[in-house]
Amino acid sequence: MAKISVFGIGYVGVVSAACLARDGHQVIAVDVDPGKIKSINAGLTPIVENGLDELIENAVKAGKLEATSDVQYAIDNTEVSFIAVGTPSAPDGSVGLVYVTDVCENIGKALANKDAFHSVVIRSTIVPGSCETACIPTLEEFSGKKAGVDFGMGYYPEFLRESTAIEDYYDPGLIVFGAMDEGTARILTDINKDLPCDINVVDLRTAEMVKYCSNTWRAVKVTYANEIGNIAKACGLDGQKVMEILTSDTKAIVSKYFMRPGFAFGGSCLPKDVRALRHLAREKGIKAHLLEATLEANEAQIQRAEQMVMESGANKVGFVGVAFKAGTDDLRESPLATLAGRLIEKGIEVSIYDPYVQEAYDSHTPGAGRGNDVIPNLQGRIVADLDGMINDAGALVVGNVYENTVERLSEAAKTRKVVDLTRFSKELTSDGTYEGICW
């Protein structure tokens, strides 16, 4: 069992402290509010949350939980400190770090007087890079010690929902944390090891980013549901009924298939259906902000890829894949075809390796090249020799993954410009010669 101090007796801090104490850890809650301190030491909850009053009462009676305003006492009597103070928006909309850095300053001063190794773990919601640019420098300045060497450092976001926080704590959908040192990683792993969820150990910035992605994704889902509800009502339909049926589809709607960063969406369904629903909304006098933004963002992703290719300076570009996805010869509204067409218009010589489109032409399928209205002389640009195309091209655009291409493309990425729109190998990240569109 660990000895843990929790700084900030707000919603996240007090729930975390109570649950940690229930699990057998020795917990000291720290705050500047004497009312909250008095409440906890009396075995009472300072906030309203289902089941929390009983947890705190039992933890205090068992001697597992106490509260104080004495920072030095908390640091001296624990081995790890969780910072769970608020990060309200600054006037310009940026994350407000003043409470976090104030606590870091106080902890840093206390660490200066402690010889034993101590870990500091941020639980507050902070944007990627905040630990490195604000928290760590503050701790190092006031402690005179080095993060990851003289004291431990980690970022461990919470995903607790008000009114179901205790349930969420013990049945999490996601556990992720970043740690600079093995000691901090070990403590956080031990705290979570018995929970029914995979533990993701990453770097500090990735953990910070995951927290923001989780919260903003929830906001996007609420906005989407509201937008669909508004359109449905304008059509005389029950928006909640529509969404209840939609979300019963766990194969596509709730799956991770479409949550993979990469290139723009295309094909015979998604582009036209988003446009059609947007048009219906306009007819009904409904402002479909999210649908409008979806089409704008999709076009922007194509433009982003175009810019990446143009910046390579290549006059000859080889495409690996041109159909809207691998495994088909369908070019209807393929963003890869759109990209190729735009490059051709700019005078760039484009050749294409796509085994499925080639198969359609070779077998004289009546629908060969179906959906293409942007690439001139498509059949003449199709090549069967991948190695020849790689050697001849100044840059390569990888739009679809074909198993037989991965090894050769990985080798090519060492010597020539490769713009990867799909991520044919998870071993590669942008490094100059190789450039992924989202990684």
Residues marked as catalytic: 269
Residues 6 or more apart whose CB falls under 8 angstroms from that of 129 comprise 205, 208
Q: What are φ and ψ of residue 195, in 5° steps?
A: -85, 150
Residue 294 CA neighbour count, 13 Å, CB half: 19
d(Cα 145, Cα 133) in Å, to the nearest integer? 16
Tokens matching residue 126: 């902070």
d(Cα 380, Cα 387) in Å, to the nearest integer? 17
**Pick from 24, 18, 40, 26: nearest CA to 169:** 18
Letter for the amino acid at 335? P
**Pick from 128, 70, 81, 87: nearest CA to 104:** 81
d(Cα 428, Cα 439) in Å, to the nearest integer? 9
**Pick from 311, 356, 316: nearest CA to 340:** 316
Please report, to the nearest 10 degrees, the dihedral formed by the alpha carbons of residues 136, 137, 143, 148 taken in order. 40
d(Cα 120, Cα 102) in Å, to the nearest integer? 14
d(Cα 315, Cα 334) in Å, to the nearest integer? 22
Please report, to the nearest 10 degrees, the dihedral formed by the alpha carbons of residues 102, 103, 108, 109 taken in order. 80
d(Cα 287, Cα 166) in Å, to the nearest integer? 39
Helix then strand count (H, E) for the chain reads: 18, 13
d(Cα 316, Cα 393) in Å, to the nearest integer? 5
Tokens matching residue 2: 């660990």
Q: What single-letter DSSP state applies at residue 10? A: S
- Determine the angle formed by the axes of helices 52-61 and 34-41, rounding to 10 degrees: 70
d(Cα 210, Cα 199) in Å, to the nearest integer? 13
Length of the chain: 439
d(Cα 60, Cα 22) in Å, to the nearest integer? 10
